Structure 1
Amino acid sequence: MDGTLVDSEKLWDVALQELAATYGGTLSAAARRAIVGTSMAASMRIVHDDLGQPERDPQASAAWINERILELFRTGLAWRPGASALLRAVRAAGIPTALVTSSGRPLVEVALDTLGRDSFDAVVCGDEVDAAKPHPEPYLTAARLLGVPIGRCVAIEDSPTGVASALAAGAAVLAVPLEVPIPAADGVHQLESLTAADLELLAALLGEPPA
């Protein structure tokens, strides 16, 4: 979701830097890059360590971030280039589609006002799985909910953490890096933008012609 479908990473930048400021510090660029695609718990640990304040309560920090990011999300979300058109094409073709995100359910519910609640057959949120990305559980859960073998799925991701999760699950991966470069890897096809993606490409990633 964040950075793949909608350009929300800038909103996360605002919230994270504001949190750091309330703690009397500034979040480093390296820490911000490390946060992309991670769970909320992992993100808060990174923030605290980066500020030299590892003793802080991650749950309290997460609650602060959740409240602030909800405010920012409600101001409106912008689609990433090509994302809306590709999602519409996938849905029009009747292809089962899941949203797999590290964000929590309350935030996702706000984002769905932009993404469309009928755009997905299943939604897997970061606070609804036992193990978050880069663990394979989120993508394996999505495939199970869709009733589709994971090997027949294409995951579209913007972060190394998300790519690692999808690869570990056994999905084909289309990577569209935004904030953080994604190293080249077997099973990962990279594009600069989803404007270059279509149904034919998704089918090719699975080694078959489109239906």
Structure 2
Amino acid sequence: MSATTLEDPLSSHHPAAVLFDMDGTLVDSEKLWDVALQELAREYGGDLSADARRAIIGTAMAESMRILHDDLGQPERDPDVSAAWINARILELFRTGLRWRPGAFDLLRAVRAAGIPTALVTSSPRALVEIALDTLVRDNFDVVVAGDEVVAAKPHPEPYLTAARLLGVPIERCVAIEDSPTGVASARASGAAVVAVPAEVPLPSLTGVHQVESLTGVDLELLAALAADRAGASG
């Protein structure tokens, strides 16, 4: 069901749109990334450190490969070659099935039932997103912004600004839902209200970011309140 066929959310108490990150927010895919990254590190004769793995979370592929190479003491390696290896392996792992994060499915279903536009805003490349959408269901999103479809990736605000532009809604009336420091920085810089649900990496307390332990306790009332507060602050 298309959200655009229902009541215009700008005339209601709902957010103008809800913008969802994917990895670690909607689906528990970071563990699959762990497998692929560690396998590549071993292929190169090393082990990826815990600090480097944490730094990679939420970043675009090019930056992820730079971090991995530097951590292994092999900065001369071609990031495109490494990215191609990771993409091929992670596609295999994604096809084995993705698990929803706690509360994510119910929240997405509630947002769609309310007629609120939705976007998937992820650092993952489009080819990988297409596999993930078999679990997430592509009709659950009016817009998808993949990591290889923007000029500036997270933590730059462009991915979230692009989603709002494609949906035709003001970003300050949107709520973004993220799990990583990189993603939170992107959403916060865009001007959206932000719900942060840490997965693999603890998040600091930040002004304008509503942090929760899981999405189980997030409902439409909370999203509406956060969007209203953000819109008021920007107005």
Q: Do the structures match in fold with TM over 0.5?
A: yes
| Partner of residue 90, structure 1 | 111
Is structure 2 residue 34 aligned with structure 1 residue 7? Answer: no
The residue type equivalent to 1:153 in the other structure is: C
Is structure 2 residue 131 aligned with structure 1 residue 131? Answer: no
Following the alignment from structure 1 to structure 2, what is the Cα–Cα distance between the partners of residues 204 and 169?
18
| Partner of residue 72, structure 1 | 93
Deviation at 1:182, TM superposition (A): 1.1
Secondary structure at 1:95 match in 2: coil
Following the alignment from structure 1 to structure 2, what is the Cα–Cα distance between the partners of residues 206 and 18?
42
The residue type equivalent to 1:44 in the other structure is: M
The residue type equivalent to 1:204 in the other structure is: A
| Partner of residue 149, structure 1 | 170
Following the alignment from structure 1 to structure 2, what is the Cα–Cα distance between the partners of residues 178 and 55?
32
Following the alignment from structure 2 to structure 1, what is the Cα–Cα distance between the partners of residues 52 and 36?
14
| Partner of residue 107, structure 1 | 128
| Partner of residue 35, structure 1 | 56
Is structure 2 residue 184 aligned with structure 1 residue 163? Answer: yes
CA deviation profile, 1:145-181 (whole Å, cap 9, x unmatched)? 1111000000000000000001111000000001111
Greater relative contact order (CA < 8 Å, ≥ 6 in sequence): 2
**Structure 2: runs of 5+ lacking an equivalent:** 1-21, 230-235
Give the one of 189, 194, 198 matched to 1:177.
198
CA deviation profile, 1:18-69 (whole Å, cap 9, x unmatched)? 0000000000000000000000000000000000000000000000000000
**Structure 1: runs of 5+ lacking an equivalent:** none
TM-score of the two chains, using structure 2 as the length reference = 0.88
Following the alignment from structure 2 to structure 1, what is the Cα–Cα distance between the partners of residues 227 and 149?
28
**Number of residue pairs matched?**
208
Deviation at 1:80, TM superposition (A): 0.2
| Partner of residue 75, structure 2 | 54
Give me the identity figure in percent. 82
Secondary structure at 2:202 match in 1: coil
TM-score of the two chains, using structure 1 as the length reference = 0.98
Contact 2:150 2:159 in 1 (8 A): yes
